[in-house]
Amino acid sequence: MAFLHCHNCDFSQDDFYSVDGYNPPDYLQSWNKGLCGDRIDERFTDDAEFLREYGPITLREVIAREYEKYARGIRSMKWVTWESFKEAWIDGKWPPCPKCGKNDLDID
């Protein structure tokens, strides 16, 4: 739904999750064919941007890194859903940043 970040410090978190919308398990499911396929140890060539960032890499490693990335995101989420973020509002205003305490959160 929305990428939450602070303009005063480096706090940021993944988009809010929802059961019927964006969430890591649904996204990661898109890798199932590759994970269970017979080309898992072949060089991954499907995404030029990914290759620029990581260099030569196998599909197995791409999938593992995607799972690790989402695991880090899940662990670091302060407000997992839009509803949990709204519950933290104080007098109709957004809560302060959980890292620096300033009222400088923004959503992109």
pLDDT at residue 1, rounded to an integer: 56
Q: Single out the residue of 71, 81, 78 nearest to residue 12, CA to CA.
A: 78
pLDDT of residue 99: 96
Domain coordinates of the chain in residue numbers?
1-16+85-108, 18-76
Provide the pLDDT for residue 6. Answer: 97
At residue 46, the pLDDT reads 77
Contact 100, 9 (CB under 8 A): yes
Condensed to tens digits (0 to 9), the pLDDT of residues 43-52 reads 887 778 878 8
- Check whether 19 has a pLDDT greater than 70: yes
Residues whose CB is less than 8 angstroms from the CB of residue 86 and which lie 6 or more positions away in sequence, other chains included: none
Mean pLDDT of 59-67: 91
Torsion of CA 102, 104, 107, 108, to 10 degrees: -130
Q: What is the pLDDT of residue 71?
A: 95
Amino acid identity of residue 79, one-letter, is: W
Length of the chain equals 108
